[in-house]
Amino acid sequence: MSVAHTVVTVVAAVMAGFSAYSVFARAEWAVKPMADYGVPASWTPWLGTAKAAGAVGLLVGLAVPAVGVAAAIGLVLYFAGAVITVVRARWFSHVPFPLVYAAPVVAALVLS
pLDDT digit string, tens, across residues 61-85: 999 999 999 999 999 999 999 999 9
Distances from the Cα of 82 to the Cαs of 3, 68, 73, 74, in angstroms? 30, 21, 14, 12
Orientation angle between helical segments 44-60 and 28-36, nearest 10 degrees: 120
Express as a percent the part of the chain with pLDDT over 90: 96
pLDDT tens across 10-60, in order? 999 999 999 999 999 999 998 999 999 999 999 999 999 999 999 999 999
Average pLDDT along the chain: 95
